[in-house]
Amino acid sequence: MKLTRRGFSGALAASLAAPAFISRAGAQGTTLKLGMCAPVTGPAAEQGRYAQTGAKIALDAVNKAGGVLGKQVELIIEDDQTTNPGIVLAFSKLAAQEDIVAFLGSIRSTQVHAMAPDVLKLGKPVMIGGTDPALTHMGNQWLFRFRPNDSYSGRVLADYGVNTLGKKKWAIVHSTDAFGTAGGKALTEALGKIGATVALDQGYANQSQDFTPVVLAVKQSGADILGSYFTFENDLGIFARQLRQLGVNVPYVGSPSIVNVSALKLAGPALYGTFGVADYAEDSSEAAKAYGKLYREAAKLPPDNQSAWTYDAITILCAAINKAGKTDPQAIREAILATKGHAGAEGTYNFDANGDGLHGYNVVKNDKGNILFDKHIDFND
């Protein structure tokens, strides 16, 4: 067969145009695609499984109710390996698929920081669970948070410890990652405002195998209460055990990981009697109870915030796309920000202009392994 100039030009033009047609055909496919970066491997793989379960429960409900814009919704999951390079790679793989309209990012602030520049470049909405306040205050309009940020957790921890438990001399132990550092800072600031003192501000590196030096520092500080921001439950488990072994028995209030299912299992009696701020507490509202029932049926496990935030994120995101009536990123963004009074598993969502949906925390107590809801504190400022 002889290749003519016209034939060659035609074939070249068709080759160049084909990807555009193929991707458009995909975009107009039978399903609407959402991307999710989740830790399938690495230290948080267990929590990643909870997060996927929460998202899938919401997805099933959305699809049973008719889907989004008349299509069934499909969730494409990429493993973020529980690392910053891992989530950047996972997000880049998802972002390369043009027909994915929005994404779920990480519950770990440090990972959200790592992926944030790519999110800004892509310009599509990303739902996050990281609680470093800076994430929604650094000029990235595409990040939407489905958990209360740590400026609230710090205030609730400080308020509960000082005004309810009556303790004013604090030791603070926190991870040195973005979440722990921001949390420790928020707690220190909140304590300063209500006249309490910080006797010890102690950071630690994630995945430490031994906390003896930290526990001894707490002991020597003379603090009458301990506050903590732990990122990984296995660290918290080791710390809590050593705390009790080395005779530190002051009241202990902690960030949400202190009431996570994994932490309760690993630390066991070492966390009995502690208090925690929890964005998800099963008895805090009717919506939380309803979600708890769904999760227990699906996962045969008690629910916690690792799955509750992804459940809410998928539910609200799908509702927002339906409300926007199209998959245009800006229209979805505006619809998410317009979400007010939505009763979710984590609380009542009222998005502010920064992209923060929740503005308060529950306080719960670990009563011999059972998490008892005490009260919910919301802030208007």
Q: Which residues contact 287 (CB under 8 A, 6 or more apart)?
A: 343, 344, 345
Please state whether 356 falls in left (phi above 0), alpha (psi between -120 and 50) or beta. beta
Q: How far is the CB of 246 from other proteins (least distance, A)?
A: 6
Residue with the two structure tokens 């030791």:
171
Q: How far is the CB of 55 from other proteins (least distance, A)?
A: 16
Q: How far is the CB of 204 from other proteins (least distance, A)?
A: 5
Laid out side by side, the sheet with 72-79 consists of 72-79, 31-38, 100-104, 126-128, 143-145
Residue number with CB closer to other proteins (30 or 209): 209
Residue number with CB closer to other proteins (215 or 277): 215
Q: How far is the CB of 262 from other proteins (least distance, A)?
A: 7
Residue number with CB closer to other proteins (7 or 213): 213
**For helices 45-64 and 286-299, what crossing angle results, to 10°?**
110
Q: How far is the CB of 29 from other proteins (least distance, A)?
A: 31
Residue number with CB closer to other proteins (19 or 269): 269
Residue number with CB closer to other proteins (33 or 185): 185
Residue number with CB closer to other proteins (244 or 289): 244
| 155 CB-side CA count, 13 A | 16
Q: How far is the CB of 56 from other proteins (least distance, A)?
A: 16
Residues within the interface to other proteins (CB under 8 A): 40-43, 45-46, 48-49, 176, 202-205, 207-210, 212-214, 216-217, 220, 233-234, 237-238, 245-247, 262, 265-266, 268
The beta-strand segments (E) located in the chain are 31-38, 72-79, 100-104, 126-128, 143-145, 169-175, 197-204, 225-229, 252-254, 275-278, 340-343, 348-350, 360-367, 370-378
Q: Decide if 310 contacts 60 (C-beta within 8 A).
A: no
Length of the chain measured in residues: 381
